[in-house]
Amino acid sequence: MKHQFDVIIVGAGLAGLRAAIELGEDTNVAVLSKVFATRSHSGAAQGGIGAALGNEEEDNWEWHMFDTVKGSDYLGDQDAIEILARDAPRTIYELEHLGVPFNRTPEGKIAQRAFGGHTRNFGEAPVKRACFAADRTGRVILDTLWEKCLQRGIRIFDEFQLMSLLVSEGQCHGVIAYELATGQLHTLHSKAVLLATGGYGKVYKTTSNAFASTGDGLAIAFRAGAPLEDMEFVQFHPTGIYKLGILISEAARGEGGVLRNNEGKRFMELYAPVIKDLAPRDMVSRCILEEVRAGRGIDGKDYVHLDLTHLGEEVLNTKLAEITGFARTYSGVEPIKEPIPVQPTCHYMMGGIATDADGKVITDSEGTPFPGLYAAGECACVSVHGANRLGCNSLLDILVFGRRAGKEMRRYIHTVGLSPLPANPEKEVADKISALMESNGNEKGGPIREELQEVMMDKVSVFRQRSGLIEALEKVRELKGRYQKIAIQDMGSCFNRDLLDAIELDYMLEHVGSG
């Protein structure tokens, strides 16, 4: 089936929806999402979105910029970081005007709380910079933007999975997508395509990420000739629920929670005497693992305690209701009375498809664009986070740069015509699906995926060594070889997860191997 639009946006998280809203007024735009739009991982964001509003105490964008540059280990693009920090207050007021129900101060201003790595006066002390809606910040922003898209009549193709990009003569002019409910292929023809497909934490065994975070956009762009940047920079969040990786937001420490080792000691005081438990995530994750290595993990195991007991029932049940619920359900502890067992969990990908500050995918260090192809959000690398993202800077990044990508595409589509479609645009994808369905190989996708997740966790996580990385690369190559022999059991065409899991596994092996 064929469709025609000016712009196709792949991904209905905040990056994709914000870009769609920018275009929606006067452009024929469609959004594609492999999950129902409001189930995108953006909806799981808990703690907040950073902006130097100065509502609770003095703050300004230069301090925000400084913290972001420093937090990135001085490896972020400082011009892009300036755009991020300067545009942050406008972004928050825009959300407020769209109807996002932020928490309020007693005088009715948008409330703010402390978050890791955010300081006043260039590192002097923590500052309250995170705007939030309890611990459901992503949820309320996603729902608000989604409603706005519906109101503007933007076409959303829910449960449509991107399979490949249409590229001819170096120009991207559409996508091939698979409809989950029917197994049918669709050709979506357009002048421009925005990839907003999110991160790929699912390559690790322990992760805070959603099942859909498999990095499809990165692998598909890479195969179409777009370079990936900073793929070695993977963030581990210090406080995932022990063994499960489900996130306990940094907001817990922003509200005053502390980490303790098996002696009950607040160990971050030793490693970061000024900002203590609110040090940047890379540092806190390393400190937890150093405590564990020194034998100070709880019961000699590889986790520590996050103590919220002193915050009181009211704070826990109002400002941190979601995460205290997670602790009760998944760890079986009552956070009002007991500490929560936590360990670092794979959380965020700083690297991704290389772009400039207007979302244009770039193909070399000169900034040569890939005509018609754009990327924004976690799948893109602008790069504002360098080697380590500060908490609350991702929601900001995806909204600031999602909007800018929308603006740039709106300009671009008036400068080009619609390239003609090839004779049989779906053939390559259809052949690939048939090959998988007809394979009588002796491998299954599940075990290959588990082995990939395990080797990534063991050898490519917080601490890495050359020998471990070489071993991991060899393992990924072996798994890629075995992948060639996988067979599908489900022969159906309605929600065939067996087939789609196999396709996603192929992407995971591709971008992990590209790093």
Ligand X SMILES: Cc1cc2nc3c(=O)[nH]c(=O)nc-3n(C[C@H](O)[C@H](O)[C@H](O)COP(=O)(O)OP(=O)(O)OC[C@H]3O[C@@H](n4cnc5c(N)ncnc54)[C@H](O)[C@@H]3O)c2cc1C
Active site residues: 281
In the complex, the smallest distance separating the C-beta of residue 31 from ligand X, rounded to whole angstroms, is 8
SS3 state of residue 286? helix
Going edge to edge, which strands form the sheet with 125-131?
49-50, 125-131, 112-120
Q: What 8-state DSSP symbol labels residue 283?
A: H
Q: Is residue 362 classed as helix, strand or coil in its secondary structure?
A: strand
Minimal distance, residue 170 CB to ligand X, in Å: 22
Provide the 10 A C-beta neighbour count for residue 427: 12
Strands 369-375 and 360-362, bridge-based pairing: antiparallel
Strand, helix or coil at 51?
coil
To the nearest whole angstrom, how small is the minimum distance from the Cβ of residue 489 to ligand X?
Answer: 22
Q: Which residues are 369's β-sheet partners?
A: 362
In terms of CB distance, is 159 or 471 closer to ligand X? 159
State the minimum distance, in angstroms, from the CB of residue 180 to ligand X: 10
CB of 376 to ligand X, least distance (A): 7
* Stretch binding ligand X (CB under 6 A), from 297-305, 373-381, 423-431, 445-453: 373-381
Q: Which two tokens stand for residue 393?
A: 């800077």
Cβ-contact 208, 237 below 8 angstroms? yes
Q: Choose the binding region for ligand X from 8-16, 21-29, 76-84, 226-234 (rule: CB under 6 A).
A: 8-16
**Among the residue ranges 29-37, 183-191, 328-336, 358-366, the one whose residues contact ligand X (CB under 6 A):** 29-37
Contact region for ligand X (CB under 6 A) — 11-19, 99-107, 308-316, 366-374?
11-19
User: Does residue 41 touch ligand X according to CB under 6 A?
Assistant: yes
Q: Counting runs of H as helices and runs of E as strands, what totals does the chain give?
A: 15, 20
22 makes contact with ligand X (CB under 6 A)? no
Name which position in 238, 377, 406, 445 contacts ligand X (CB under 6 A).
Answer: 377
Stretch that binds ligand X, among 26-34, 313-321, 323-331, 487-495 (CB under 6 A): 26-34
474 C-beta neighbours (distance < 10 Å), count: 11
Question: Which residues ranging from 244 to 273 are in contact with ligand X (CB under 6 A)?
Answer: 247, 249
109 strand-pairing partners? none
Question: Could you tell me the smallest distance in angstroms from the CB atom of residue 365 to ligand X?
Answer: 24
Among 9, 35, 111, 218, binds ligand X (CB under 6 A): 35
Mark 383-402 with x for binding to ligand X (rule: CB under 6 A) and - for no binding: ---------xxxx--x----
In degrees rounded to 5, what are phi and psi of residue 221?
A: -65, -40
Closest separation between CB of residue 478 and ligand X, Å?
25
Residue 209 beta carbon to ligand X: minimum distance, rounded to whole angstroms = 5
Whichever of 55 and 209 has its CB closer to ligand X, that residue is: 209
**What amino acid occupies position 26?**
D
Amino acid making up residue 216 = D
Out of 8, 9, 12, 472, point to the residue binding ligand X (CB under 6 A). 12
Q: By C-beta, is 220 or 486 nearer to ligand X?
A: 220
- Using CB under 6 A as the binding criterion, the count of chain residues that bind ligand X stands at 45
| Nearer to ligand X among residue 126 and residue 138 (C-beta) | 138
111-150 residues near ligand X, rule: CB under 6 A? 137-138
Is position 87 an interface residue for ligand X (rule: CB under 6 A)? no
Q: What is the DSSP string of 142-196?
A: HHHHHHHHHHTT-EEEETEEEEEEEEETTEEEEEEEEETTT--EEEEE-SEEEE-
Q: Are 197 and 215 in contact (CB under 8 A)?
A: yes
Tokens of 146: 């989604």
Residues 219 to 248 in contact with ligand X, rule: CB under 6 A = 247
Is the CB of 44 or the CB of 287 nearer to ligand X?
44
Site mask for ligand X (CB under 6 A), range 148-167, x = bound: -------------xx-----
Minimum distance between the CB of residue 142 and ligand X, rounded to whole angstroms?
7
Nearest to 162, CA basis, from 507, 509, 515: 507
* By CB under 6 A, residue 14 contacts ligand X: yes
Q: Which candidate, 20, 357, 41, places its Cα nearest to that of 190?
A: 20
Q: Which position among 197, 345, 383, 453 is part of the footprint of ligand X (CB under 6 A)?
A: 197
Tell which positions 345-364 bind ligand X, by CB under 6 A. 348
Of 32 and 297, nearer to ligand X (C-beta) is 32
- Could you count the other beta carbons within 10 Å of the beta carbon of residue 268? 24
* Binder among 8, 20, 49, 353 for ligand X (CB under 6 A): 49
Q: What is the DSSP string of 392-439?
A: THHHHHHHHHHHHHHHHHHHHTTT--PPPPPSSTTHHHHHHHHHHHH-
How far apart are the C-alpha atoms of 187 and 168, rounded to whole Å? 14
All residues at 6 or more sequence positions from 501 whose CB lies less than 8 Å from its CB, including other chains:
445, 446, 449
Locus of tokens 């067996």: 498
Token pair, residue 35, equals 């999950």
Closest CA to 8 of 179, 190, 151: 190
**Shortest separation between residue 501's beta carbon and ligand X, angstroms:** 12
Asked if 48 touches ligand X (CB under 6 A), the answer is yes
Task: Determine the 3-state secondary structure of 7 from DSSP.
Answer: strand
Stretch binding ligand X (CB under 6 A), from 7-15, 66-74, 312-320, 360-368: 7-15
Q: Which of 9, 45, 83, 110 binds ligand X (CB under 6 A)?
A: 45
Contact residues toward ligand X (CB under 6 A) are: 10-16, 32-35, 40-42, 44-49, 137-138, 161-162, 196-199, 208-209, 212-213, 216-217, 247, 249, 348, 377-379, 392-395, 398
